[in-house]
Amino acid sequence: MKSTTPEAVRADATKWFQQHWDPELSLGRWWQLLADAGWAFPSWPEGCGGRALPTSATKAAIQARRDAGAFGPPNGVATFLAAPTIMHYGTEAQREKYLPQIVNGQDRWCQLFSEPGAGSDMAGLATRAIRDGDEWVVSGQKVWNSGAQWAKYGILIARTDPQQPKHRGITYFLIDMEQEGVDVRPLREMTGDAAFNEVFLNEARVAESDRLGDLGDGWRVAMTTLSHERDPDNAGLGETAAFGSVDLEVTVNDHLSDLESKVDGFSLALSGGVTMVLDDVTNQFDALDDPIKRQRMAKIMEMRRTSKWSGMRTAASLKSGGQPGPEVSMLKLLGAEMNRQIRDVGLETMGPHGMLYGEDAPTGGLFHAYAMFTPALSIAGGSDEVQRNIMGERVHGLPREPGEKEQRELPWSELPRS
Ligand SMILES: Cc1cc2nc3c(=O)[nH]c(=O)nc-3n(C[C@H](O)[C@H](O)[C@H](O)COP(=O)(O)OP(=O)(O)OC[C@H]3O[C@@H](n4cnc5c(N)ncnc54)[C@H](O)[C@@H]3O)c2cc1C
């Protein structure tokens, strides 16, 4: 058996990247090579783009890739939400059907959870799935679905039994987005981008074999997805663009030049790439000469270290059998706060230039695109207030909100709706 010490893994990975990394390969070929070798997502199981490596060895493998200057694996809802949920709850057939095309970047996915009347109160969702032979017929409206316009598949939660209390009559499905009955309409954000969408489902079809988890157990499956979404150290959260269309035929070099011209605030925030842009800002404006700014930068670095502190991470995963538990809400809150601080220190450092927008602004407007996106980090994946409720109720055992217990017992069909 091969050694999995960080040193041995780093040496192994370094050798592999020296032999295989070539920016003139097509993007599709490169991602396939990475996945087949298990260097795409080193902590994931063998055959799923990984080598089942422990955390320290995974870090060593990722560092070896960075040192080689090699482009990272695919990124997006497919890798950081769909894959870990399918790995945990999927049948053998579902894993075989979906995971290979996720880890090689061929299929993009979206998340169909939120609805106009069910965001924070996601368990109140109204999209219905009705059984019809070997299929389910799905109708309803979803909203804020990031990347749905480029997605081949969606992770979907829908109500399968309105007579059950709201948390119990929900089922989780893997839906084909490229079918009649799925209408995706992009929404323009204040950043100027249109990364998320409304999705109208009008008698869309899902095979019974694409139900993920047990009938009526969709809430539990969705909580697993959300725990991964709130985990800043999610193994499927990569450094490459999370959203947008991807041409697998172009060379990695061409893909990279294309990315440079259209990187958005959403991808920058998700990939952590903003720290490099912040470095550009601090260098350009000599911010480190100012002791107060230096102090604030140190605070940001400390927050980043804390969010990766292994003691907290271990606590966050122990409660749910290796899956991130409710404690991960703390890390999500910390991430939102840290991004606000990066935004503020960056814009203040620029002085009057901080008020510009677009290509005229420092860093070609990249930092400003990120700054405009930062409020979204306190909303996406569950708002800050909701994370605090989760910490209070599920971690510290404080009483639930007044009336919530009664609501949890009533059939969904009898609940008042706005
Ligand atoms: C950039 C971005 C990307 C997103 N991508 C996706 C996606 O891909 N798929 C998807 O399904 N969804 C997505 N969402 C939606 C996101 O999950 C919801 O916006 C979020 O859960 C909040 O729901 P809401 O917008 O309906 O707000 P509401 O639930 O209406 O909340 C409004 C306000 O009330 C507060 N509030 C609500 N309930 C409570 C409470 N019990 N206690 C205290 N305060 C409360 C909230 O904190 C918030 O400030 C995305 C959102 C953003 C911003």
Q: Is there an atom of ligand 1 within 6 Å of 386 CB?
A: yes
Closest residue by Cα to atom 3, ligand 1, is 380
pLDDT, position 276: 81
How many angstroms separate the Cα of 263 from the Cα of each of 77, 84, 231, 318? 17, 26, 23, 36
pLDDT in tens, 164-179: 999 999 999 999 999 9
Q: How confident is the model at residue 84 (pLDDT cuts 50, 70, 90)?
A: very high
Whether the CB-CB separation of 286 and 384 falls below 8 Å is answered with no
> Residues with Cβ < 8 Å from 117, sequence gap 6 or more?
124, 126, 417, 418
CA distance 292 to 17: 41
pLDDT, position 27: 96
- Which of helix, strand or coil describes residue 15? helix
For the chain, the maximum distance between any two Cα atoms, rounded to a whole number of angstroms, is 70
All domains of the chain in start order, with CATH: 22-73 (no CATH), 81-224 (2.40.110.10), 252-395 (1.20.140.10)
Give 20 Cα–ligand 1 centroid separation in angstroms: 43
What is the DSSP secondary structure assignment for residue 45, as one 8-state letter?
P
How many angstroms separate the Cα of 155 from the Cα of each of 137, 228, 363? 15, 14, 36
Kindly provide the b/e burial profile for residues 33-55, where b requires at least 16 CB atoms within 10 angstroms of the residue's own CB: bbbebbbbbbbbeeebbbbebee
pLDDT, position 58: 93
Chain mean pLDDT for the chain: 91
CA atoms within 13 A on the CB side of 21: 19
CA distance 416 to 399: 22
Kindly provide the b/e burial profile for residues 225-255, where b requires at least 16 CB atoms within 10 angstroms of the residue's own CB: bbbbbbbbebbbbbbbbbbbebebeebbeeb
Q: Is there an atom of ligand 1 within 6 Å of 37 CB?
A: no
How many angstroms separate the Cα of 238 from the Cα of each of 81, 104, 241, 278? 12, 13, 8, 19
pLDDT, position 310: 54
Higher pLDDT, 201 or 276: 201
pLDDT in tens, 54-66: 989 999 999 999 9
Tell me the torsion sign for CA atoms 406, 408, 414, 418. Answer: positive
Give 112 Cα–ligand 1 centroid separation in angstroms: 13
CA distance 83 to 134: 24
Closest residue by Cα to atom 35, ligand 1, is 385
pLDDT in tens, 360-382: 888 888 899 899 999 999 999 99
- Which of helix, strand or coil describes residue 290? coil
pLDDT beyond 60 at 321: no
Q: Is 229 a catalytic residue?
A: yes
CA distance 75 to 70: 15
Out of 115, 135, 198, 229, the active site residue is: 229
In percent, how much of the chain has pLDDT > 70? 95
Q: Is there an atom of ligand 1 within 6 Å of 225 CB?
A: no
Give 70 Cα–ligand 1 centroid separation in angstroms: 36
